[in-house]
Every structure is written in structure tokens, then in C-alpha cells.
Amino acid sequence: MSTSSLTYQPFDEGEEGNGTSRKRFNGRSASTSQIEIPNLAKRSARRKDRMAVIPSETAKNWSSQEFDVSVCIYCMKEGTTLTKIKAQGTKSNRTYYLDEQNSCIRWKPTRKGTKAKIAVDSIKEVREGQNTDSFKRSLVNENVNSACCFSIIYGNGLETVDLVANTIQEACIWIQGVRFLLAGLQMEDMLVKSNRLRDNWLRTTFETADKSKNGLLDMDEVIKLLHKLNFKLSKRKIKKLFREADTNTIGQHEGQLDYEEFMQFYKLISTRKELLFLLQQYSQSKQYMTTEELQKFLQTEQRLASVTIAMCEEIIDKFEPVPENIENRWLGIDGFTKYLLSPEGNAFNQSHKKVHQDMTQPLSHYYMAASHNTYLVGDQLMSQSSVDIYACVLQAGCRCVELDCWDGKDGEPVIYHGYTLTTKILFRDVIETINKYAFLNNPYPVVLSIENHCSVDQQKKMAYYLGEILKDKLHATPPSEKQTHLPSPADLKEKILIKTKKNFQWR
């Protein structure tokens, strides 16, 4: 996605807290070189020993600020000194920056070397304020402006990096910058995403194989790497392709591949020969298909009905990279490969990306995506319990979450795996999180499966929180005596149902 396609109306503020001196520019017409961008990295370094404590009025001035995407990306690449809040409550100052490929967030100093990074495509969410477990535990007694705080949640394990910026401006730039990057990933089609993931994997593989850390691989390192990747090629074939990819035939880098050369080398050995054979089969041994030949392929192999020449021309316009082929209405091997690896060429029915089933049947007629021991990050004996897991699973499509409720201190019910060493979280915090995230990506009802071990007094507190926090979202209408079946998912859109043990006879 081109960053220039996004337009915003940002402003740059000269001094902290001074909401009167503002310089506006139009994101559509102003280039980065024309904009006076504050050097946030240097300014952060001068204040690295303190975290921001800024008046609430200033926070209001900054809360609605929007920056142009070019400003955010520029400042992120320059680097910003941020304070990381660790799970134990300790703090460390590091310079965080976006790499040149816009693919990873890195930091320094670090002992991890090139492994110190967060891949942008692994980021699930960037969360404003002090809204994670570690933030709430670590900063409970500190006067730190919530507007300067943000968290990056990433990876399949839903890891969290909690950060505090020195100014609200810096926090806004990072929050909006990461969101720009995530929005760009969501707008890319499946092919572009696949290529980006492949290139990221290739870069990681290259860095791992580069034992000397000089950015180059020699023949022996390449052979070992291919063996590790399970490529069954003779050394003679590898040496031939290696020489073809090695463009540095003169100088000290002769006989070694840099990253770009290695990427071309890898693509040479991973060419899909079966696709080339398929193209030549339908094109009468040519290196391209005409619109008529493409039409025949779509009807015969892809089983597409009512394929027109106009549809074939649209495919060529969209997927063919060679301008001459587009002009002649030809689809070459690169365009053909791109089409077959795209959503349009997928065997999956694209209409099924949206809800296409009948959602008006009784609720008991459906399978439901459910989560067991939702609150646990790890094992059931000694792991952490986390409020954040509820937000993640609900956004991922889960419609039934579990809450194991027990009596807690100070009359506050808690959730944890009873009679174990797992940590405890407040029932109230979980209900607030469910209220916020239940229907962000899915309008269909959410079931709270409550395993109740609480005393009567704390059950009353639970009932109070459910009514006070969920309000109209809570489905509390009793069934009528004439009702013979459960309501449908369509009837219960954006409603939260309670499932727990109770002496109740359904009529």
C-alpha cells in the first residue's frame, strides 16, 4: 500500500503543553522534506531518566492529534527513547526504531543482536493507555500520564511490550504509525502478503546462516543452508545457480552472495515448474497465454462458468507485471503464477468470507467457537492469568468464554484456576474487557460460561458488575411460557448471555 494514498490533517506543536503555537500542513501536498519534523530521538535522549508527568489539559490538546503517515514513519525510523515497563515492575530506557523495510520494530541497546525485533506482521494490536495487566500492576502508585503510555501486543503467544513515551506527541506518533502499518497490511491482497512473509522469512534465514555476520554467504554456507531447508540438489547444480546469482564477479565479494543476490538465487531454485508446464499446455508451448487460451484454462481447470474475454482482460491487467504483455493482452508465467496464488485463483469460495449461513435458526442448532480456561496464558497449574486474553479471543471470533469465579480479598470476586498456583485477576476487570471487545469484529451473541464458586455476598457483587457494566448488552429477558425454542443468533445480535448452574426448568 502506498503511503501517499493516505491523507490526514496533522499539526506539529512547538513546545510541550503549548497548545497555541501550531503549524498546519496538508498531507496530500506536502512532502516529508518540506516539513519541519522534530528530532524526537535527540529530545527523548535528553529526558531518558524521567517518564512523562504532564497536566491533563495538555493531554486533552494532544488526544485528538493526527499525524501524516510520512511524519510517523520518518520519526519512527529516526528512533525514539521509550521506557519499557517489564512484568516484574522494573523499567528500562531503550531507543526503539522502525527498520528500513518497514517490516520490523527494533531497539538498542540489546544483547539479542538481530533477534531483538518485533515483526510488523506479527502485531495483533496497539493499545493506548495503561490497559494491560503489567501496566496496571507496575504504575498503580506512580503519577504517569496515561496518554503517554501504549502497549504493542504481538505473536501467537500474545506477548506484550508496555512502553511509556516522554511526551504525548511521541506516544501519538508511535500509536498512529503502527496503526498505519497494520492498516496497510490489512489492505494488501493475499499475494502481496504472501510475498512479504516469504521475503521476511528469507531475510531471517539469511541472517541465521551468516555466521560471520558480514552480510554475505559463501558457497559452503549456502550448501549447508540448502541442506537444512531440505533442498535435494546436486552440488554441481547449486554451484551453477550460485554463479548465475553472484553478480559481484570482480572485487572482494566475488564468490559470495549478499541478501539481494541470495533472494534471487533462492527464487531460481524454487521456480514452480508445474505451473510453467500448465501454461505451455494451454498456450501451445508459448511463454504466455492469449485471452482466448486463458478463457479455456479457466473453464477447463478452474471450472468457472460464464467466463468472458473481458474477465480475462481484467485478470491480465491485475496480475501481469510486464507492460508489453499487458499491451498485447498476454499473460506470462509471472502473471500466471501471481493469479493462481491470489484469492481469485484460490479454490476457496470467496463469498464464504462473510456469513452466508442461515442465522435465524434456534441457538441450539449451531456449533459455537468456545474457549476453555480462557484467562490462562499457559498451563493450568502455575501460569499467569490475564485479562488481555479475553480481548484477543473475542476479536479472533470466539463466542463463548469461561470465567472461573472465586471469593477474593476486600469483597472483590476474582478469576483463576482454583486450588492451583495460577495468578488471580479481578472479575470486574474481565467484565469491563468483555464489554469493550465482545462485538468489535463479530455481532453475534457472546456466552459467558461462569463456573461459580463464590459466596452469596460476592455473587451479589458479580450480579451488580454484570448489570452495571454490560447494561443493555446483557440479555436478561426471561422466556415466555409460550416460547418453544431458543432465540436465534440473529435475534441475539450484540447480546451477552450468562451460562451457569441454576435450578431452572426450561418450558
User: What is the Cα gyration radius of the chain?
Assistant: 28
DSSP assignments along 209-257, one per residue: H-TT-SS-EEHHHHHHHHHHTT----HHHHHHHHHHH----SSTTTTEE
Query: How does strand 104-108 pair with strand 117-119?
Result: antiparallel
Sole residue written with cell 463479530? 442
Distance CA 135, CA 428 (A): 17
Can you read off the three cell numbers belonging to residue 274?
Answer: 508445474
Instruction: HSE, CB side, 13 Å, CA atoms: give it for residue 206.
Output: 21
User: Is residue 122 packed enough to be buried (19+ CB in 10 Å), middle (13-18) or exposed (0-12)?
Assistant: middle
Residue 256 has phi, psi (to 5 degrees) of -135, 150
Query: Contact, 84 vs 91, CB < 8 A?
Result: yes
Residues with catalytic function: 372, 417
Distances (CA, A) of 389 to 137, 372, 379, 401: 17, 12, 14, 10
| Residue 451 backbone class (left: φ over 0; alpha: ψ -120 to 50; beta: rest) | beta
Distance CA 352, CA 480 (A): 35
Would you give the DSSP letter of residue 447?
A: E
User: Is residue 157 packed enough to be buried (19+ CB in 10 Å), middle (13-18) or exposed (0-12)?
Assistant: exposed
Alpha carbon 135 to its chain's center: 21
Distance CA 451, CA 460 (A): 15
User: Is residue 135 packed enough to be buried (19+ CB in 10 Å), middle (13-18) or exposed (0-12)?
Assistant: buried
Query: Contact, 127 vs 162, CB < 8 A?
Result: no
